[in-house]
Structure 1
Amino acid sequence: MSRAEAAPGRARPFALLASELATLFRRRRTIAMLGALALVPVLIAVAVRVTSAGSSGRGPAFIGDITQNGLFVAFTALTVSIPLFLPLTVGVVAGDTIAGEASLGTLRYLLIAPAGRIRLLLVKYVAAGVFAIAATLVIVLAGVIIGALLFPIRPVTLLSGDVIDAGGFVVRALLLVGYVSLSLLGLTAIGLFISTLTTVPVGAMAATIVLAAASQIADALPQLSAVHPWLFSHYWLGFGDLLRDPISWNAYGQTALLQLGYVVVFGALAYGRFSTKDILS
């Protein structure tokens, strides 16, 4: 390859990432998953509206506050989605990163282009991480919209008893989106690694989702309390301190450190596997 041919690749270092993001978010499967996630707050809001679930004292956190303030639909939907729906969709995207290209026969052509294996892995991982952010944001936005349509909107009372206005709610909601997205980075790295082990994307997706469920089951067993702080799902629901005044950043720091460890370990494993993998398709 001549320097003239290589120059465009250097001049547009983010071209591959932009192409990957465009491909990811144009897929019908991605649109369907985001649509399904948007339905979670809608179903919660409608159920509370037509029944007395909001005043029964039962159900997920914040559900009893929805009838008094529609903004709590977003918090409730996020709490409901973290254990199952978000890991499910993130597992599908992460498991498809490399295995999906191999199954379609396009992986070899991606590597022939001036991308390189490290760059391709990074692009695939970043795209999966962007999906995690988008999925979390969709839940929150859909929750706010349906909550405003079906219930009154008032200043939000935090867990500490302090009251914040709409501007304060937006800040807290964005912090929650950031926290949940950050918490899913370890699972994304695991899915990327598994995706390098196979050319069957469904298998990689299933393995990633099963590991997410297994981690949560292990985290619920008191007999395994010694390993709880090391499980990538341990801090998934630890965002309560973000809904207090003043905000405590301990949970943010803990989950960031834990997820960084998983990203480093499984990122290295993914590179070790992918860099020596014989690409036949």
Structure 2
Amino acid sequence: MSQAEHTGRRGATAGHTGRLLASELRVLFRRWRTWAMLAALAAVPVLIGLAVKFSPGRPPSGRGPAFLDQITDNGLFAGVVGLVVCTPLFLPLTVSVVAGDTIAGEAGLGTLRYLLVAPAGRVRLLVVKYLSSAVFCAAAGIAVVLGGTAVGLALFPLGQATLLSGTQIGPAESFGRLLLMAAYTTVSLLGLAAIGLFASTLTGVPVGAMAATAVLAVVSQILDALDQLDWLHPWLFTDHWLGLADFLRDPVSWDSFGANAWLQAGYIALFGALAYGRFTTKDILA
């Protein structure tokens, strides 16, 4: 095969993958379920902001979610509190629904065999399904940020934000750090998305894959809270989930971000390989 033919074939493969991914994202974001989950995530910081606004007095320091007492000084902290509240439960739950439905949903509907005959190819289909879940991870974090920003701008002033180090920053830098926190949250969820993809290859019942993925997220956090298992903590995919607070230091501490990214990459590699091994040997067309 000549170099030109090889290049042309690679370009055609990339083009087909791109079209398949675009089609998958259209299907994902045309579902009412997807938008209902995103709306629910956005509603969390809105409800927090309303509770703070209409409660008597300033929220006491040290009580309630982290940074709750800062919302009255800078409304953008509604988004920060929203991310802190949503990260342990609501974000993993929505990602479990999307990731658990990737392959099992197609199998349950009977459309999986047609996707493979298209031909999409099993490896390409796995990659596209995972990438669509990753896009949802980003959309979920952004939904919380947008909900928090909207309620913060509507109900509270945009004053100086006091960081954990005691220094103060303006509204523009505060919003930039809020976006970094959303990016951190997205990275945190990528390992869970890979687990959900693998679970989805094990069954043709989407609810089973969704539930298994969500339960694993809860169990991992419970294990992470037990001091007796501190030797296990660095290996749990939830260990760095709340490290997003490091973006509220001056200067920003990137240690948690790096450790979290490497940990999630390991889970992506492990469960991606398991999903590949399961899916490529599974009898689907019979």
Fold match (TM-score > 0.5): yes
Match of residue 174 from structure 2:
169
Contact 2:75 2:152 in 1 (8 A): yes
Aligned residue in 2 for 1:220: 225
Residue 282 of structure 2 corresponds to: 277
Question: Which residue number corresponds to residue 35 of structure 1?
Answer: 39
The residue type paired with residue 39 of structure 1 is A
Map 1:1-20 onto structure 2 (within 5 A). Answer: 11-20=15-24
Does the CA-based 8 Å contact 2:17-2:124 persist in structure 1? no
Alignment-derived partner of residue 112 in structure 1: 117
Amino acid at match of 1:278: D
| Equivalent residue, structure 1, for 2:244 | 239
2:138 equivalent in structure 1: 133
CA distance in 2, matches of 1:257, 1:7: 30
How far apart in 2 are the matches of 1:53 and 1:224?
40
Cα distance in 1 between the residues matched to 2:142 and 2:250? 23
Q: 2:71 aligns with which of 66, 74, 95?
A: 66
Query: Which blocks of at least 5 consecutive residues in structure 2 are unaligned?
Result: none
Runs ≥4 residues deviating over 2 A? 6-13, 52-57
Q: Is the 8 A contact 2:73 2:160 kept in 1?
A: no
Q: CA deviation at 1:12?
A: 4.2
Q: CA deviation at 1:201?
A: 0.1
CA RMSD of aligned residues (A): 1.7
The separation in 2 between residues aligned to 1:226 and 1:18, in whole angstroms, is 42
Aligned to 1:232, what secondary structure does the other structure show? coil
Deviation of the 1:162 alpha carbon: 1.8
State the secondary structure of the residue aligned to 1:160. Answer: coil
Q: 258, 261, 264: which one pairs with 2:269?
A: 264
Q: Which runs of 5+ in 1 are unaligned?
A: none
Select which of 41, 57, 78 maps to 2:83: 78
1:46 correspondence with 2:38:
no
Once residues 240 and 72 of structure 1 are traced to their aligned partners in structure 2, the CA distance between those partners, rounded to angstroms, is 12
User: Measured at CA, do residues 152 and 219 of structure 1 come closer, stay the same or move farther in structure 2, by a change above 3 Å?
Assistant: same
Per-residue CA deviations over 1:67-117 (Å, capped at 9, x if unaligned) read 222111010011000000000000000100000000001100110113111
- State the partner residue of 1:203: 208
- Determine the C-alpha separation between the residues in 2 that align with 1:51 and 1:70: 15
**Is the contact made by 2:99 and 2:130 (CA closer than 8 Å) also made in structure 1?**
yes
Alignment: residue pair count: 277
Aligned to 1:144: 149
Letter in 2 for 1:28: W
CA drift of 1:204 comes to: 0.3
CA contact (8 A) 1:54 1:63 kept: no
Distance 1:30 1:165, change over 3 A: same
Distance 1:11 1:136 in 2: 28
The residue identity in structure 1 corresponding to 2:40 is: A
- Once residues 267 and 207 of structure 2 are traced to their aligned partners in structure 1, the CA distance between those partners, rounded to angstroms, is 22
Q: Would you say the 8 A contact 1:94–1:191 is kept in 2?
A: yes
When residues 151 and 7 of structure 1 are mapped into structure 2, their CA distance, relative to the original with a 3 A threshold, is: closer
Paired residues of 1:9 and 1:114 also in contact (CA < 8 A): no
Residues in 2 aligned to 1:263 and 1:183: alpha-carbon distance in whole angstroms: 11
Compute the displacement of 1:55 (Å): 2.3
| Identical-residue share of aligned pairs (%) | 60
CA distance in 2, matches of 1:52, 1:115: 58
Deviation at 1:241? Answer: 1.7
The 1-side partners of 2:66 and 2:14 are apart by 49
Amino acid at match of 1:33: M
- What residue identity is the alignment partner of 1:238? G
How far, CA to CA, are the matches of 2:232 and 2:14 in structure 1? 45
Structure-2 separation of matches of 1:54 and 1:204: 43
Which shows bigger deviation, 47-56 or 263-272? 47-56
Of 151, 154, 161, the match for 1:156: 161
Corresponding residue SS for 1:124: helix
Q: Which residue of 2 aligns with 1:249?
A: 254
53-62 vs 146-155, greater mean Cα deviation: 53-62
